[in-house]
Amino acid sequence: MNWFPECGPCFLRQVLTVRRYLALNDTQTKSLMKSVACLLCSIKDDISPPEFAMDVYAKVEELTGQDDPYRTGKEESNRIALDMVPLIQERIKSALDPVKESILLSIAGNIIDFGVTGDIDVLRELNQILREEKKSDARFFQIDEFLIRLHNSKRILVIGDNCGEIVFDKIMIETIKEQWPDKKFIFAVRGGPIINDVTYDDAVKVGLDRVANIISTGVQSPGAVLSRASKEFVSEFYKADMVISKGQGNFEALSDVDREVFFLFMAKCDVIAKFVGCPKGTILLLKSGFKGNK
């Protein structure tokens, strides 16, 4: 999907987030803000938000000298998620449908993004999200088609999203493999640090390499932009029996691709909620080709 007018202010707000993580002074922040504003002046109409983010964070690195400004936030996200593992595993074990519960939790785990600020109780929010999901429109949670494809697939590519959330992805993969041990999982990470997205080192630190073969998209973008991705990733993308795309950034990058993809994410902004046609904050499991409110 291409960027919307509302995406512009969002990129400028990210400058303030970078300021907080790197403790930038007013002069540095103004310089970075003006540079990002200049980038917006020349942005093409047919570029996706994740693709433009590459230019924004290249500018962040140029002006601050920091290639991974969210490092502490990523570490905190993983710490929060790892602390929750016993509770999440127990919840899945006691569920009537453990696989479905692990899928729901994998998507809902994206809420850890907000938990890092210390403003929310992650476990309480998870419970609220899952309660609301049971009342949601089935159009936005296409679990039956997902499970049919999962049952019939042996080689499954999962395209990762954020730190913290990846702990829940690992639990989802473990739960699926308990039921279907013959399935082979490939887990794709970003080609380098970008916002709070998962890199190879982040994935290994939470043990994802023990349940999946980790590969890189080859592109340092908060979404798997195929036109810039590595040949290895593109080959795996089309070779896999099933593609599971985690997170909003990957949806933005891959919503119009020419193969079946299952998108698991939370509608975290008004633009995406409007694009899909759902309330903001909805847990989504959509198959590519979903028309929504396009």
Question: What does the DSSP assignment read for 150-205?
Answer: HHT-SEEEEE--BTTHHHHHHHHHHHHHHH-TT-EEEEEE-SS--TTB--HHHHHH
- Residue 65 has, within 13 A of its CA and on its CB side, a CA count of 2
Q: What is the predicted pLDDT for the residue at 190?
A: 97
CA distances, 287 to each of 29, 122, 126, 245 (Å): 40, 28, 23, 10
The token duo for 197 is 């997205």
Q: Which amino acid is at 217?
A: T
Q: What is the per-residue pLDDT across 259-280, written as a single tens digit (0 to 9) for each?
A: 999 999 988 888 999 999 988 8
Please give the mean pLDDT across all residues of the chain: 90
Q: What is the per-residue pLDDT across 75-112, written as a single tens digit (0 to 9) for each?
A: 999 998 999 999 999 999 999 999 999 998 998 888 77
The token duo for 213 is 């073969």
Mean pLDDT of 221-236: 95
Q: What is the predicted pLDDT for the residue at 126?
A: 74
CATH architecture group of domain 71-287: 3-Layer(aba) Sandwich (3.40)
3-class state of residue 13 by DSSP: helix
For the chain, the distance separating the N- and C-terminal CA atoms, rounded to the nearest angstrom, is 10
Q: What is the per-residue pLDDT across 14-35, written as a single tens digit (0 to 9) for each?
A: 999 999 999 999 999 999 999 9
Mean pLDDT of 115-143: 68
Q: What is the predicted pLDDT for the residue at 280?
A: 86
Q: Which has the closest alpha carbon to 125: 107, 139, 141?
A: 107
Mean pLDDT of 182-205: 96
Q: What is the predicted pLDDT for the residue at 133?
A: 60
Percent of the chain having pLDDT more than 90?
Answer: 69
d(CA 292, CA 188): 27
Mean pLDDT of 135-156: 88
How many other C-beta atoms can be found within 10 angstroms of the C-beta atom of residue 228?
Answer: 17
Q: What is the predicted pLDDT for the residue at 294?
A: 47
Mean pLDDT of 154-175: 96
